[in-house]
Amino acid sequence: MSKTIMTVDDATTMRKMVAFALKTTGHNVVEAADGKAALDLAKSRQVDLVITDVNMPNMGGLELTQQLRALPAYARVPIILLTTESDPEMKNKGRAAGATGWIVKPFQPDQLVAVVSKVLPS
Are 2 and 28 a contacting pair, CB within 8 Å? Answer: yes
What b/e sequence results for 73-96 when a residue is b if at least 16 CB atoms lie within 10 Å of its CB, and e otherwise?
ebeebbbbbbbebeeeebbebbee
Q: How confident is the model at residue 122 (pLDDT cuts 50, 70, 90)?
A: low
Q: Is the model's pLDDT at 1 over the cut of 80?
A: no
pTM: 0.95
Q: Residue 14's domain spans which residues?
A: 4-119
Cis peptide bond prior to 106, omega within 30° of 0: yes
φ, ψ of residue 83 to 5 degrees: the values are -150, 165
pLDDT by residue (tens digit) across 86-103?
888 999 999 999 999 999
Across residues 105-114, what is the average pLDDT? 92
Q: Is residue 32 within 8 Å of 51, Cβ to Cβ?
A: no
Question: For residue range 18-60, what is the model confidence (pLDDT) as tens digits?
Answer: 999 999 999 999 999 999 999 999 999 999 999 999 999 999 9
How much is the pLDDT for 81?
96
Supply the CATH number for residue 111's domain. 3.40.50.2300
Q: How many domains does the chain have?
A: 1
Tell me how far apart the alpha carbons of residues 121 and 43 are, in angstroms, rounded to a whole number. 21
Q: How far apart are CA 55 and CA 48, in angstroms?
A: 22
